[in-house]
Amino acid sequence: MKISRRAVLAATGGVALLTACGEEAKPAQAGELLRSKAPLPQPFQVPLPIPPVKKPVRSDATADYYRVVQRKASLEILPGLKTEVMGYDGLLPGPTFDVRSGRTTVIEQVNELDVSTVVHLHGGHTPAPSDGWPLDLLMPLQGGHGEHHMGTGDMKMGSRTYTYPNTQRAAMLWYHDHTMDYTAPQLYRGLFGVHLIRDEEEAKLPLPDGDRELPLVIADRAFNADGSFLYPVAKDGHGVETKYMEGVIADVTLVNGAPWPVHEVDAVRYRLRILNASNARRYGLAFDKGPAKFVQIGSDGGLLAAPVEHDTLAIAPAERFDVIVDFSKYQVGDEVTVVNKLDNNANVMRFKVARKANDESSIPAKLSSYAVLPRPTGVVKRTWRFRRGTAGDHQGWTINGKAFDPNVMQAQVKLDQPEIWTFVTDVHHPVHVHLAPFQVLSRGGKEKPGDYDQGWKDTVDIRPAEVVEVLVRFTAHKGKYLIHCHNLEHEDMAMMAAFETI
Ligand code: C2O
Ligand code: CU
Ligand code: CU
């Protein structure tokens, strides 16, 4: 690709986060570094927390019923300081849902916060009324002053029930806030969690499980001196301060809500379910010392056909990677650190190989009946252009030149018909489509997916001035859905479009 460093700098408004990735210098991030005012702790002091698995209040033959309270809580995230979070059940991340494919999950969400919220199940094949349309607001229980949009959505007071049919293959999904214009600050304060779907095909595989299957939810945050979250909300309430409109990149890396945590492992295989829940930061995850590698077995939409080995895992906001790491390749007593290659090998977390143990797990050569679909001919094609622009009288981000307008459907898409969608960018944009996963057909002119695009995806990282083609096919649910950038500062500053399935 012919794009000079100067051109990239111009396109990104002078963002200085450049690293050499590959042959040419490209910005590693779309974003601006936000530094904490609190003193930062030493890394690898806090044990890795594991979010609790949510228990249903009741179950019947086809469904499990849950109740979640969105509330504030004061948590010790940085040792010795208190941080007020907005969390599902007051947790950051929220509780993990661990459910069976085909069994319905019914969640009553209660809003005890003082702002309105919306819950979206990211990666879910969800009917539109439960998909978390950004104006289908759940207003605070105490009837707060509703500083947020009153909007044109389906509003509920105090509580709302979301129904997820889970009619999809085993995969790591996640749920998070999706409130119009406020997704970035509300997710930043804690409104996100993991939703795992399991199925028969996956259960038959001899993969590591129990406490050898770890969710790793990575999110960067900055803190004020008193421990509260630091986030540069624009003075007029529209998104972030202009300086940060490329994205908020913060200086503390949390994994499962703990700063640069440490986890003791047996010298055996582990299955890591990695989610990048950061607002804008991308990671190139790698071990500081070999010989372990990441053996990828799944992506956003579930298992791959066959395992793929990586030295580095490039993961953009909202993407998930399902990987096996074999710690038996290290000596007992070894410490191995996961670093971010896109940030000068900055720390992410550490594993301590504590003891030898039996390992009955293995990585089968064939994982799933997943099949690469051939490029279809004679289908509808659409192009989605992601670039800087204006949203009303503000600077913002646009899709096909338009700021998000909930009343405008940018496309009407027939159910059950495959289509080819082309994504085109100016700077980095992790593009996400609701309702159905897709397969990457080409990236950067090469007639195949990129190294990290394998399998079924629902979010694809498009690098500066790049073109990516995907094959989409929506099924079952008619209604209004979204395509948007998952850099949350871009999303809140209008980089979202609605389409309708018919
Ligand atoms: Cu993860 Cu529309 O979002
Ligand atoms: Cu989504
Ligand atoms: Cu973007």
- Domains of the chain, first to last: 58-203 (2.60.40.420), 210-355 (2.60.40.420), 380-501 (2.60.40.420)
Q: What is the DSSP letter of 8?
A: H
Residue 278 C-alpha to ligand 2 middle, in angstroms?
A: 15
pLDDT of residue 143: 62
pTM (two decimals): 0.94
Q: What is the DSSP letter of 428?
A: -
Residue 273 C-alpha to ligand 2 middle, in angstroms?
A: 18
pLDDT of residue 28: 81
Cα separation, 339 vs 218, whole angstroms? 12
Residue 185 C-alpha to ligand 3 middle, in angstroms?
A: 16
Strands 138-139 and 97-100: unpaired
Strand segments, DSSP code E, in 22-113 are 24-27, 32-34, 58-59, 63-75, 83-88, 97-100, 104-111
Shortest-distance ligand to the CA of residue 389: 3
Determine which residue's CA is closest to atom 1 belonging to ligand 1.
122
Residue 133 C-alpha to ligand 3 middle, in angstroms?
A: 19
pLDDT of residue 371: 82
* Nearest partner of 423 among 375, 466, 360, 378, judged by Cα: 466
Closest ligand 1 atom to 318 CA: 1
Shortest-distance ligand to the CA of residue 484: 1
Closest ligand 1 atom to 484 CA: 2
Determine which residue's CA is closest to atom 3 belonging to ligand 1.
122
Closest ligand 1 atom to 496 CA: 2
pLDDT of residue 147: 52
In this structure, what token pair is assigned to residue 453? 């695009």
pLDDT of residue 12: 39
Residue 487 C-alpha to ligand 3 middle, in angstroms?
A: 5
Per the DSSP assignment, residues forming a β-bridge with 192 are 176
Closest ligand 1 atom to 482 CA: 2
Count the neighbouring beta carbons within 10 Å of the beta carbon of residue 469.
20
Shortest-distance ligand to the CA of residue 385: 3
Q: Could you read off the pLDDT of 139-175 as tens digits, one per residue?
A: 998 765 455 555 578 999 999 999 999 999 999 999 9
Closest ligand 1 atom to 123 CA: 1
Shortest-distance ligand to the CA of residue 436: 2
Name all residues whose Cβ lies below 6 A of ligand 1.
Answer: 120, 122, 176, 178, 318, 432, 434, 482, 484, 486
Block means of pLDDT (10 residues each) for the chain, length 502 residues? 36 39 60 96 98 98 98 98 98 98 98 97 98 96 59 86 98 98 97 98 97 98 98 85 96 98 98 98 96 96 98 98 98 98 96 98 96 92 97 91 96 97 96 98 95 97 96 97 98 97 98
Cβ partners under 8 Å of residue 393, min gap 6: none
In this structure, what token pair is assigned to residue 165? 């049919």
Sign of CA dihedral 22, 25, 29, 33: positive
Ramachandran angles phi, psi of 7, nearest 5°? -65, -40
Residue 357 C-alpha to ligand 1 middle, in angstroms?
A: 40
Cα separation, 206 vs 293, whole angstroms? 19
pLDDT of residue 394: 85
Closest ligand 1 atom to 434 CA: 2
Sign of CA dihedral 432, 435, 440, 443: negative
Shortest-distance ligand to the CA of residue 491: 3
Residue 5 C-alpha to ligand 2 middle, in angstroms?
A: 33
Closest ligand 1 atom to 132 CA: 2
Residue 432 C-alpha to ligand 1 middle, in angstroms?
A: 7
Strand segments, DSSP code E, in 281-418 are 283-287, 294-299, 302-310, 313-315, 320-326, 335-340, 346-355, 380-391, 394-399, 409-413
Q: Could you read off the pLDDT of 395-436 as tens digits, one per residue?
A: 899 999 999 999 999 999 999 999 999 999 999 999 999 999
